[in-house]
Structure 1
Amino acid sequence: MTLVREVPRAARLSVGCALLAAAACALPAVRPGAHTPWGTVALLAALYALCEVPGRCPRLGRALGGSLPLGTGSFFPVLLAAALLLDPAAAALTALPGSLLARVDEPPAALRRLWRAAATALAVWAAARTAALLGGPAALGHGPDAPDLPYALLPAGAAALAFCLALTALDGGIRAAADGLPLGTAWRGLLGRSLAPHTVHGLAGLMTAVLWRSTYGPVAALFVLLPIGISCWVFAQYHRERAAHQATIRALVQAVDIKDRYTRGHSERVGHASVLIARELGMPEDRLDVVRFAGILHDVGKLGVPTRVLRKDGPLTPEERRIIELHPEYGHEMVRGIGFLGEARSAILHHHERMDGTGYPYGLRGEEIPEYARMVAVADAFDAMTSTRCYSRARPVPAAVAELERCAGTHFDPRMVDALVRALDRHGWRPAVTADETAPPAPRPTGAAPAAQVPAPRENGPEEPGRPGRAGETPGPGEATDAPRPAGPSRHRGSA
């Protein structure tokens, strides 16, 4: 599901301020009498742009076996070489063409490119300023003069660190402005993930700058592109593996949707809502994929439930209820060998546990329930209540939130419920019809309450005590939980 919302005013203001700051940093290079080495600036800017442009050309990427980098960042060594070779204002100019031409995958593309150009220019300026303060240009040598090694490592390392810190600060700031996150939450994890790559970029940039200043000139510096190209190839292989993971997930979800037509699209929305909760709690970005996988695959065990039970139109018998309640264990067994799912496997197994211990399959309570499972449980119930199906009408978002809050502490983790409420206030929610047809209006006998006041059963959603569910449903908050627990595979407590 794609959320359609305008770019917040704070984010637009941040982009504007970054553009003004970048212009101020680059202005001294274009003033009359600045003695800017335009040949070097043009060569480095063109080299960086040439390296980034293929990312926007799918045909060229396929022609080269898909080994081209997929986004901005793979060729930062060119910019760090510019930071060592040029004064700060001129170095900032080298970042602009490539950043404006780099691939952007999400809208609004123009605003994202402007932000990336401004942020990269500011980071290169900070790196060049740091290198100049430590005597970096002098340490590179010139012509027959040998570089001052190992001292040259100090300004190069400091420049790479300044580059990394500037980008981290700016990227965290725009995340905070765009998503309304606290700065601490927006910055969390950014520096740790970028420090090692930028250190390697700094060493490659130093090598490029030394060769550029040598008697062999700029042509020799192009040989540094060979290890950079190899790193891009490795980067592309990672993305290929990631794409294979995504294809595996899609295949499993499509299989569930085909078998249980009543909940089509439900899995993707639960994955999205789970990520909203995780982001609100400040979970690092590198764990969000696992959270999303947990939400998307939470019902994969329905593939092991007989189709006649899933598609039954009437209430479930106790025996059919016990069969349905086996689906978390079936799902866990199905994904046990998929290593990249990690902690998502425990969420698949335990997403129907309840905080008071009345859930299934193992009756875990409180903190015994894995964190991912507690996130998915809230996301699952919320989407079930707010989705229109061919057998039930959607509840309004405020009514679903009120029901989640009512059941917080007994069925759901209050911390997860609060996080979802905050995320909904910030991002909103757009539920979609997930069955083949729009739900028809339910017939209303004379004297009955208006349709909006008649509760309808829905999968995983909170229901009235003792109300029997239709096939494919599982008990929601408020339902009777005195049914015997099923005996199924892996009856040990806990998860793999």
Structure 2
Amino acid sequence: MKPLPRTARAYIVCAALGAGACALPALLPPSPTPWATAGLLAALYALCELPARCRLLGRSAGGSVPMGTGSFYPVLLAAALLLPPAAAVLTALPGGLLARVDEPPARWRRTWRAAATALAVWAAAHTAAALDAPAPGAPAGALPHALLPALGAALAFCLVLTALDGGIRATADGLPPRAAWRGLLGRALAPHLVHGLVGLMMAVLWRSPHGPAAALLVLLPMYLSCWVFAQYHHERAAHQATIRALVQAVDIKDSYTRGHSERVGHASVLIARELGMDGDRLDTVRFAGILHDVGKLGVPTRVLRKDGPLTPEERRIIELHPEYGHEMVRGIGFLGEARAAVLHHHERIDGTGYPYGLRGEEIPECARVVAVADAFDAMTSTRSYSRARPVATALAELERCAGSHFDPRMVAALVRALDRWGWRTAVTADEAGTQVPAPRAPGPLAPQPKEPA
């Protein structure tokens, strides 16, 4: 177990002291705290966290959602609208301290979660009050008036929580400040605004003649949606584990191409983005790039690791790897179009490729993307039988072969993507070392001493 750095412990202690200071006015006489409302909301938030503490119930009830996804933040945001700031802080503490923690040190993690959510709720409650939230006896018809305070509270909650999370990442993981906060706000903003609206509905129903019991009904669809989201995450994690296992098996068998699959997946995504693909299509292209060489598991190791040129018989054997790969992944339904790319990534536009000699548009688009990414990484990586070429040289070779070996659209998309994002070359031979300079006369792409990727 990696110990928690002292800076991270000090950071957590400061957050806990800050949360305690924010909650203190609610405990000092004369206290304006509406204890009935605060107690119900605190108990509700804690009750929502309890199923995750049980392994069996946690799995069936969505308890395995990663910590911090905010499944029950609407309860806290409703507290920010219903209670004074100090009292709202108290509602966050029991649930945060009872939250399930899968990794040690559990006490520090629970303390951190309780303190961070408490500070975020305090900021949200102050923001709602500053934006003139309806007073505690306001009728349900005050909903339009409460919309702005609710959104402001959700935004303040999000900003404080992401700021604090970035700080813990910087202190606990040793990340540079820019890396620690990168992407946190963008990922959290939309979900927190939705939670704010759900919290507003809870607050309005809480103040209505129907009372707290009606407010609880708002949590049911929210809880179900979080459960569905958790199942989606589980499914994606299973997909990633399947792909990771296949790639690791290929890397173990063909150590000369270690890392090649991941880089081809990355280059394929760069090309696909330039072509306007997004969402699930990008995932499919990435899977295709990562798994394009999985068929090498069916090729004898002595052929894969041979240092010299291949004999005609050995070349025929290695050219079977796309078909082997397709047989291996054909039953993995989530791969979709990626299965065709595994089979056809060595086809050429002029019909001289293998295994079926397809030409032009007969080759699936995903396969044409992977073909370019595969050849590019093969040329820019050092192997046992060839030295790496500079990126500019590799791109020039791809452009020379565009229209015969490769789809010109894919080549042009890669050139644009690398001009925008750049590329970091890597050594993939067994001996890790410095990038080997490219030879003066790189020669044509087609006649490589071994199958290039």
* TM-score of the aligned structures, taking structure 2 as reference length: 0.67
Match of 2:219 in 1: 225
The residue identity in structure 2 corresponding to 1:125 is W
Distance 1:265 1:108 in 2: 38
**Structure 1 residues 485 and 369 mapped into 2: Cα distance closer, same or farther (>3 Å)?**
farther
Match of 1:441 in 2: none
Match of 2:189 in 1: 195
Deviation at 1:190, TM superposition (A): 1.6
- Which stretches in structure 1 are left out of the alignment for 5+ residues? 275-285, 387-399, 412-477, 492-496
**Structure 1 residues 338 and 92 mapped into 2: Cα distance closer, same or farther (>3 Å)?**
farther
Work out whether residues 22 and 121 of structure 1, in 8 Å CA contact, stay in contact via their aligned partners in 2. yes
Which of 378, 390, 393 is matched with 1:352 structurally? Answer: 378
SS for the counterpart of 2:378 is: coil
Distance 1:265 1:50 in 2: 51
Distance 1:16 1:338 in 2: 49
Distance 1:268 1:292 in 2: 13
Is residue 2:372 matched to residue 1:378?
Answer: no
Work out whether residues 151 and 193 of structure 2, in 8 Å CA contact, stay in contact via their aligned partners in 1. yes
Deviation at 1:211, TM superposition (A): 1.3
SS for the counterpart of 2:144 is: coil
Match of 2:99 in 1: 102
Taking the TM superposition and a 5 Å limit, the aligned residue runs for 1:103-182 are 103-138=100-135, 141-142=137-138, 145-182=139-176
- Which stretches in structure 2 are left out of the alignment for 5+ residues? 267-278, 330-334, 343-365, 381-388, 400-410
Match of 2:230 in 1: 236
Distance 2:236 2:245 in 1: 14
**Structure 1 residues 47 and 269 mapped into 2: Cα distance closer, same or farther (>3 Å)?**
farther
Distance 2:320 2:105 in 1: 41
Of 24-33 and 106-115, the range deviating more from structure 2 = 106-115
Distance 1:193 1:480 in 2: 48
Deviation at 1:380, TM superposition (A): 4.5
Distance 1:29 1:141 in 2: 20
Distance 2:33 2:320 in 1: 68
The residue identity in structure 2 corresponding to 1:21 is G
Distance 1:290 1:379 in 2: 26
Match of 1:470 in 2: none
**Structure 1 residues 181 and 244 mapped into 2: Cα distance closer, same or farther (>3 Å)?**
closer
**Structure 1 residues 310 and 347 mapped into 2: Cα distance closer, same or farther (>3 Å)?**
same
Distance 1:166 1:253 in 2: 40
Deviation at 1:43, TM superposition (A): 1.5
Work out whether residues 288 and 338 of structure 2, in 8 Å CA contact, stay in contact via their aligned partners in 1. no
SS for the counterpart of 1:353 is: helix
SS for the counterpart of 1:148 is: helix
**Structure 1 residues 170 and 332 mapped into 2: Cα distance closer, same or farther (>3 Å)?**
farther
CA deviation profile, 1:207-242 (whole Å, cap 9, x unmatched)? 111111222221111111122122213312321331
SS for the counterpart of 1:34 is: coil
**Structure 1 residues 167 and 156 mapped into 2: Cα distance closer, same or farther (>3 Å)?**
same
Deviation at 1:88, TM superposition (A): 0.8
Work out whether residues 350 and 369 of structure 1, in 8 Å CA contact, stay in contact via their aligned partners in 2. no
The residue identity in structure 2 corresponding to 1:378 is A
Taking the TM superposition and a 5 Å limit, the aligned residue runs for 1:22-61 are 22-61=19-58
The residue identity in structure 2 corresponding to 1:338 is A
Match of 1:71 in 2: 67
Match of 1:316 in 2: 308
Distance 1:361 1:225 in 2: 55
The residue identity in structure 1 corresponding to 2:159 is L
Distance 2:448 2:395 in 1: 9
Deviation at 1:304, TM superposition (A): 5.8
Distance 1:298 1:61 in 2: 37
Distance 1:228 1:357 in 2: 49
Taking the TM superposition and a 5 Å limit, the aligned residue runs for 1:283-362 are 300=294, 302-303=296-297, 305-310=299-304, 315-319=307-311, 337-338=337-338, 350-354=376-380, 356=390
Distance 1:359 1:327 in 2: 29
Match of 1:256 in 2: 250
Which of 5, 15, 20 is matched with 2:12 structurally? Answer: 15
Work out whether residues 292 and 322 of structure 2, in 8 Å CA contact, stay in contact via their aligned partners in 1. no
Greater fraction of residues in helix: 2
Distance 2:175 2:18 in 1: 23
Deviation at 1:38, TM superposition (A): 2.5
CA deviation profile, 1:140-180 (whole Å, cap 9, x unmatched)? 644xx344231110111110110011111111222233344
Work out whether residues 51 and 63 of structure 2, in 8 Å CA contact, stay in contact via their aligned partners in 1. no
**Structure 1 residues 251 and 187 mapped into 2: Cα distance closer, same or farther (>3 Å)?**
closer
Deviation at 1:385, TM superposition (A): 3.6
**Structure 1 residues 325 and 95 mapped into 2: Cα distance closer, same or farther (>3 Å)?**
farther
Work out whether residues 46 and 95 of structure 2, in 8 Å CA contact, stay in contact via their aligned partners in 1. yes
Match of 1:440 in 2: none
Deviation at 1:265, TM superposition (A): 13
**Structure 1 residues 35 and 358 mapped into 2: Cα distance closer, same or farther (>3 Å)?**
closer
Distance 2:215 2:375 in 1: 54
**Structure 1 residues 252 and 16 mapped into 2: Cα distance closer, same or farther (>3 Å)?**
same
SS for the counterpart of 1:378 is: coil
